[in-house]
Structure 1
């Protein structure tokens, strides 16, 4: 299965996660999205539980053709199996399994964007000794995560390493991270160099420092919508040159639907934080109405 990059903008449908206890209802966390999407698009429901049990798993509107999944994060294996099963029903998820994995796992996209993001290196296991071998004589602050997720809301004891050369602190933070990820750990241990950002406050529950950050949804090679990660403002504080820089990143994306997170550094410049598959990326503070309205100019409805 190779990439199928959209050149024309076809009619699309949406597939939402269903309620685990009632597969004919949308998951409550996606109710607002489903409400707005269903006003203009055919929307079906996907039951992961029934899919895993080998039972019928698609409910709601009858859909065929290009479809965007909006639901809980799937492992690469789960996504691949779902993609193949849906193909047999005439449903084509917007991203192939290869595209999903490319922007879901950091090591797969890092080399193409190395100059625009934080210095990073990684292991291929959850073993402390494997990542220790790669640290070498590096010093300074780093963030620990796996191929997909960090534990940023446990900033001080399972995410932020004050000095990677301090072996006691390094081992404690990495060990905490791996242990707390448990069965959700994906791929290997990733260490990303910490750079000072333009901090705007602290998270009211976790105490994690919050920076000026933006989430960009990209659809078929075009910016769909940009939102302030923490405040939801779609007017934004990005200059024309900064938007041009973001577009230069978009031009190198090899997937139909992704998210790009960028943040402002302490010196005022922007840096690429993360990529994500657009189907399993949250809206953060973007409004559901604005998000689904943004598709209209790009689609045949």
Structure 2
């Protein structure tokens, strides 16, 4: 198994500092480690340049910065030309990475969501009407702007179309060229705990820890992965994360599903723990 990690943007022969500890743990576990140029991966037609330093051959897993689904597909193809196969295919990456691709399978455990296929006002208003009334949270297919909660994420009342559109405009402004797919409007649910990030390899929960935004904060109530395991396994995805939070009524709710390759590791989870589940899980 090869671990692919981003190179440092200034010192191209070094691992990006954010992933250096995972690279060290992978080498210690006997894995090959290869550097890729993340900036090149984000540029059209530069995927082959991005992977030119990958010398090993065989199956690989990526641990790096987020890529759009089309960028990941180009990454996948460039590696195949070098006889390297990503453990997560381009189609599997999209299914984990973009909410409309996983929502139908997990809709019972996550807030009701509607989305558009573009960013025009007419489609946005139609999505609001589908939720009828009440508060909502705005995002696109891959990301919210929750750190700009009141100006670009939270919609106090979907019946207030003009107010909601102001939030949508600010969201578009902040996301810029990174906006993916269209608007996703999700029913607001009142959570009473910090989020828990769970890590799944081939449909099995292998690691449970805090969310990177709250690395020191784990809810007093433990999440039982068996309760949600069947639904996650049914997706058939090799490496994903699923973030859960306790709703005010004490029910665990899925906040987000993501591809594990581009999900951040909280500082309170040792890099060796993550590398171990990848090395052992994929090898088995």
1:280 alignment counterpart: 262
Rate the CA distance shift 1:300–1:244 in 2: closer, same or farther, 3 A: closer
2:148 alignment counterpart: 154
2:237 alignment counterpart: 255
1:31 aligned onto 2:13: no
SS in 1 for 2:159: coil
1:90 aligned onto 2:83: yes
What displacement does 1:168 show? 3.4
2:56 to 37, 54, 63: 63
1:45 alignment counterpart: 35
Rate the CA distance shift 1:236–1:65 in 2: closer, same or farther, 3 A: farther
SS in 1 for 2:53: strand
What displacement does 1:294 show? 3.2
Greater fraction helix: 2
Contact 2:61 2:87 in 1 (8 A): yes
For residues 137-194 of structure 1, give each alpha carbon's deviation from its aligned partner in whole angstroms, at most 9, with x where no partner exists.
Answer: 7111100000000000001111011111123321211111012111010000000000
- Structure 1 gaps of 5+ residues are 1-11, 199-210
Give the alignment's Cα RMSD to 1 decimal.
2.2
Greater fraction strand: 1
Contact 2:26 2:33 in 1 (8 A): yes
1:206 alignment counterpart: none
Query: How far apart in 2 are the matches of 1:149 and 1:295?
Result: 25
Rate the CA distance shift 1:141–1:56 in 2: closer, same or farther, 3 A: closer
2:277 alignment counterpart: 294
Rate the CA distance shift 1:182–1:235 in 2: closer, same or farther, 3 A: closer
Query: How far apart in 2 are the matches of 1:295 and 1:79?
Result: 19
What displacement does 1:289 show? 2.6
1:238 aligned onto 2:222: yes
TM-score where L is the length of structure 1: 0.84
What displacement does 1:33 show? 1.8
Query: How far apart in 2 are the matches of 1:145 and 1:167?
Result: 16
Query: How far apart in 2 are the matches of 1:72 and 1:63?
Result: 21
Query: How far apart in 2 are the matches of 1:245 and 1:117?
Result: 14
Contact 1:48 1:57 in 2 (8 A): no
SS in 1 for 2:67: coil
For residues 73-131 of structure 1, give each alpha carbon's deviation from its aligned partner in whole angstroms, at most 9, with x where no partner exists.
Answer: 11111111111111121111011110011111101111111111100001011122211
What displacement does 1:280 show? 0.8
Rate the CA distance shift 1:160–1:21 in 2: closer, same or farther, 3 A: same
Query: How far apart in 2 are the matches of 1:99 and 1:219?
Result: 13
Aligned length: 275
1:214 aligned onto 2:196: yes
